[in-house]
Structures are given as structure tokens and as C-alpha cells.
């Protein structure tokens, strides 16, 4: 006698998601998410749409390292299978429908110098609301905001223009590619800088748009830690503060 397995339920998918993320039990998932193991168990036992709060959905999104829209879609029962490559959802843009019309809290970490002086990268000082439209399909948890100081990222070319006072969005997990703007921590200077990432003959350089600022060669003698890639920025109109 054979038995026929029923359709995949939201609970089945949440359990599969937990196991694929290497979390062996509902109790451990609850502990990581700050939820009771009973809550996790009830979610995984759901055979129909899951009634969960936005806070619960965000906590699950964080511990399972997936966008919140995927948690929402699993919970409402509109998907019957998980994406094969979950990690593609974590670090980059994905071909998926982002949420629209919501404001997401993104960490604001203070200032970053776009020159040889400045206050560097400060600790977290606040959260600023950013519309989903500007976040695209990046997870808010992977992003942070900085205010730019210094003039090394301005030039006569309007395409190469990140002036002081700009607010930038930085993705802290992306692997920088040549030509992209990065935030780097200069260990010897004990400060953060905003520069263009370049690789030449196996060597790494941090370049400025402003020709009056010298390139920075990253080496054992001048170490630096890359803190993320700029993915967007806002600039005030001239004459406004």
C-alpha cells in the first residue's frame, strides 16, 4: 500500500528553510530570533496561511538570512517551493518582486571622510527611514547610511560627484569591483574614507575623483579594511543646507 504525500504547506516550507540554514530545532530558531519555540513550532505546523506580526516576520527574515518578502510569500501560501540558491538572496540583487510603499529603518553610522581629514566612521547613532523604492531588493539589515565630509569625491564631471553633505547607502557584504565606490577604514589614520576601488597589476588602490588628492595604495605598510560598497546616494541641491 502506498501513501500520497499532500501538498506542500507554509509550515513545511518554514521548516525546510530552518533546516537549510543549519538550525536543527525549533527551540534553537526561537532562541536566535528572540521568539518562543512554541511560536516557531506553531508556524512550522501551519497547513494554511500563517498569521504572524511584521516583527515576527522580520525576525525570521534575519535568522534565516532571506528577504522579508520571501517570508511574507511563504506565510501567505503563494509559493510552494523555496528558491534553490538562498544565498543569492542574501548578498546581491535578485529577480524578485520587492515590496513597495513601505519605509524601512536603516542604520545611520555617522560620517565618512571623502578627503584626508574628517571625523571618520562613527558608531551607530540612529536609524533613518528609507523607502523600499530606494532599497530595491537589498535587505535593510545589509545596509547602512553615512554622511560624507571632505571634497575628494567631487570633480568637474557631474557623473563623478559625491559632495560633502551627501547621504550614501552602503552595502556591507558586497564584493567590490573595480570602479565602484567603497568605504574603507585606514588603520594607520584611524578613520574611514570614501574612495573609488581599483586594482592594477595585482595591487589595490583607493582613488579620488578630485585630482588634487593623491591615490592611496593598500599594502602591508598601509593597511585598510573594506567596509562596504556604495549602492546609492542623495545630494542636496546647491545653495541648500
Q: What is the pLDDT confidence band of residue 3, given thresholds at 50, 70 and 90?
A: very low
CATH for 10-89 is: 1.10.260.40
Looking at the chain, which residues constitute the CATH 1.10.260.40 domain(s)?
A: 10-89
Give the count of beta carbons closer than 10 Å to the beta carbon of residue 1.
2
Residue 187 pLDDT exceeds 70: yes
Q: Specify whether the CB–CB gap between 100 and 133 falls below 8 A.
A: yes
Q: Which residues pair with 129 in a beta bridge?
A: 105
Q: Is the pTM of this model over 0.75?
A: no
Q: What is the pLDDT of residues 115-144, one digit of tens each?
A: 544 444 445 568 888 887 788 778 888 889
Kindly write down the DSSP assignment for every residue of 181-221, as one continuous string: EEEEEETTTTEEEEEEEEEETTEEEEE-SSTTSPPEEESSS
- DSSP class of 9: P
Average pLDDT, integer, range 78-99: 66
103-234 topology per CATH? Umud Fragment, subunit A (2.10.109)
Q: Specify whether the CB–CB gap between 18 and 59 falls below 8 A.
A: no
Q: Specify whether the CB–CB gap between 231 and 162 falls below 8 A.
A: no
96-117 residues labelled b (16+ CB within 10 A) or e (exposed): eebeeeeebebbbbbbbbbbee
Between β-strands 126-131 and 216-218, what pairing exists: parallel, antiparallel or unpaired? unpaired
Residue with cell 528609507: 130
Closest by CA to 171, choosing from 129, 124, 135, is 135
Amino acid at each position: 500500500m502506498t501513501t500520497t504525500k499532500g501538498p506542500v504547506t507554509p509550515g513545511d516550507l518554514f521548516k525546510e528553510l530552518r533546516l537549510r540554514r543549519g538550525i536543527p530545532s525549533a527551540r534553537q530558531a526561537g532562541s536566535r530570533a528572540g521568539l518562543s519555540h512554541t511560536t516557531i513550532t506553531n508556524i512550522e505546523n501551519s497547513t494554511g496561511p500563517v498569521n504572524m506580526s511584521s516583527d515576527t516576520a522580520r525576525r525570521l527574515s534575519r535568522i534565516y538570512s532571506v528577504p522579508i518578502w520571501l517570508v511574507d510569500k511563504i506565510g501567505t501560501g503563494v509559493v510552494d517551493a523555496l528558491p534553490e540558491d538562498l544565498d543569492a538572496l542574501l548578498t546581491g540583487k535578485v529577480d524578485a518582486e520587492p515590496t513597495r510603499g513601505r519605509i524601512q529603518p536603516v542604520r545611520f553610522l555617522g560620517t565618512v571622510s571623502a578627503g584626508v581629514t574628517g571625523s571618520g566612521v562613527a558608531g551607530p547613532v540612529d536609524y533613518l527611514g528609507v523607502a523600499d523604492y530606494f532599497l530595491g531588493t537589498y535587505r535593510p539589515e545589509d545596509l547602512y547610511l553615512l554622511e560624507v565630509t571632505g571634497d575628494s569625491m567631487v570633480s568637474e564631471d557631474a557623473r563623478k560627484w559625491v559632495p560633502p553633505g551627501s547621504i550614501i547607502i552602503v552595502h556591507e557584504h558586497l564584493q567590490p569591483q573595480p570602479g565602484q565606490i567603497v568605504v574603507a577604514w585606514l588603520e594607520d589614520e584611524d578613520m574611514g574614507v570614501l574612495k573609488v576601488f581599483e586594482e592594477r597589476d595585482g595591487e589595490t588602490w583607493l582613488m579620488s575623483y578630485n585630482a588634487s588628492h593623491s591615490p592611496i595604495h593598500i599594502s602591508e605598510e598601509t593597511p585598510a579594511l573594506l567596509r562596504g560598497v556604495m549602492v546609492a546616494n542623495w545630494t542636496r541641491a546647491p545653495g541648500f543646507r
